[in-house]
Amino acid sequence: MATPPEPDAPPSSEARPAAPRGSARVVARTALIVFLVLTGLALAGFGLLLGAGYYLSRSASGPAPAAVEEPGSLRAENLKHQKRIDKLRPKGLFLIVDTGKNRLSVHEGGRLVREVVVSCGSGGVLEDPKGGRTWVFDTPRGERQVKSKVKNPTWIKPDWAFIEEGEAIPKKYGDRAEEGVMGDYALGIGNGYFLHGTLYTRLLGRNVTHGCVRIGDADLEYLYKNVPLGTKVYLF
């Protein structure tokens, strides 16, 4: 008579002899060990695949931008331009005239020595009703230099000064001379333009001149005594 199967065993079409209880434990333990080993190998292989993919993706994209500063970077460009600016920077003493803000500053290399309030050109326009000439009263822009230094200067009035005042233009040169209107000193920067004094100190800081740069008495004396001939003057 056939022996019935164990209650835990899967149904079978054939009856099998019952296995010893110790042998069943060995088989189950062996099966568990094999399962754990295979699972570990599978996980290890998956990890290797992930690592290889990460390595390939990093190699394809290259190093992070922050890790290496390339020659064409913004910082390298800024340094290059800064070196160019340093080469163009004037050496020694020079003057800067800001015609918009009506300021004159004295510089020694990269150091600001003195800043003063001045008056620059008004930008006004005058037309000669008879001759058809036109004058624009702007302070010139660009690079100039101190070409002359005069103490107690005399103003030789140009044609426009008489036209502006409604007077006839004199025929004699001596009739153009006028004393005491340019202050105690004048520094010529070429083409009839001067850094000079003024009778109208209350107007300093405003654009009211015919093109020259008007300066207060104390500041004008300082410039006359401390700014040598040939000093560069930058007007903008």
pLDDT tens digits, one per residue of 44-98 = 444 444 444 433 344 444 444 444 455 567 888 778 767 776 677 788 999 999 9
Do 131 and 225 lie in one domain? The reply is yes
At residue 14, does pLDDT exceed 80?
no
Do 39 and 95 lie in one domain? The reply is no
Do 108 and 196 lie in one domain? The reply is yes
Average pLDDT over residues 36-43: 49
At residue 36, does pLDDT exceed 60?
no
Do 29 and 115 lie in one domain? The reply is no
| Bridge partners, residue 94, by sequence | 107, 232
Domain that residue 103 falls in:
89-235
What is the model's pTM?
A: 0.65
Do 146 and 201 lie in one domain? The reply is yes
Do 46 and 120 lie in one domain? The reply is no
At residue 10, does pLDDT exceed 60?
no
The CATH number that applies at residue 143 is 2.40.440.10
Q: Give pLDDT, residue 108.
A: 96
At residue 132, does pLDDT exceed 70?
yes
Round the average pLDDT of the chain to a whole number and report it. Answer: 79
